[in-house]
Amino acid sequence: MHRDVKAPFYPLVHMFVLGIDPGLTRTGYGVATRRGGTMTAVAAGAIRTSAEDALEVRLATLARELRMVIAEHRPTAVALETVFTNRNRQTAMSVGRASGVALLVAGEAGLPVTEYTPTAIKLAVTGSGSADKAAMQKMVAKRYGLKEAPRPADAADALGIALCHLQSIDLRRSS
């Protein structure tokens, strides 16, 4: 006798994500993986550019360094914090330029990019969309089982962006 049995829904088994917290002076990156329900921080750091260099040199440095991170860690997806409207127009423009470089490098590598607002990231990591930097750093460390949050704060933020993506993937797959 043959019975049709509906296969159970199993969450994504393995995903390798590069989270990016864009900035012209400092771009945070965090590489995280998920196997079943376990999320692990693999690498985190910040790419720095000098304000003394010309804009095109800074953007080229950012692109070169992001390509190196992708080549070394081989992520399967990129999660990027969206540019938010800032009272300081100059800051918003520099973040926008860094975001454009990140999008370009991900596109060159053939990686899908998902963007998240700062509020969505904070909500996913801490449970509050208005969490401050200290709360974010504390929860990033806790959620990944780290003794302390990565430094600088941009690296911890990037791991939070990766965590947001790793958590939300099942929600997008089931809708």
Residues annotated as part of the active site: 21, 81, 154
Neighbours of 169 (CB within 10 A): 18
Q: How far apart are CA 74 and CA 17, in angstroms?
A: 9
28 beta partners: 21, 46
- Separation CA 112–CA 134 (nearest Å): 30
DSSP letter assigned to residue 130:
T
- Report how far residue 24's alpha carbon sits from residue 40's, in angstroms, rounded to the nearest whole number: 27
Judged on CB neighbours under 10 Å (0-12, 13-18, 19+), 51 is: exposed
What gap in Å lies between CA 90 and CA 175, rounded to an integer? 38
